[in-house]
Every structure is written in C-alpha cells, then in structure tokens.
Amino acid sequence: MADEQGKAIDRLTKRIDLLDQRLDSIDTMITAVAERVMSQPITLMITCPHCKKNIEVTIIGSSKPSK
C-alpha cells in the first residue's frame, strides 16, 4: 500500500514538473509576442455603432515590458 502511494506521488510530481515546463514555455512565447508588439505601432480601425463613422486609434509602445 505504501509503495503504491509512493508511486502515485512520484507520478504526480512528474506531471506537475511537466505542467511547470509548459507554463514556462507559454510565458516565453507571450513575452516574445508582447516585446514584438511594443516595438512597432498598432493601428485599430473601429466603426462607431451609432454614427457609423470610422475611428482610427494608433498605439505606440515606447519601451519593452520588463520582468
């Protein structure tokens, strides 16, 4: 019984480590995308639902996000 619990704990530990590695990879990808977006202007074209006029909003990042 104790041996089975030990194996179950080992499996859970390995799964948690794999999840941690995946989350680190996702964090790295999101950071890379955020840095790329911050280095160039972003233009949003929005149409007003009331008057139907187009509104252009430009966002310019001046610095990269820091950890």
**Span 8-40, pLDDT tens digits:** 999 999 999 999 999 999 999 988 887 777 777
**Span 39-55, pLDDT tens digits:** 777 788 999 888 989 99
Query: How many CB atoms are closer than 10 A to CB 47?
Result: 10
pTM listed for this prediction = 0.52
Distance of CA 44 to the CA centre of its chain: 21
Tokens 């194996």 identify what position? Answer: 7
* CA trace torsion 6, 11, 16, 21 (10° rounding): 130
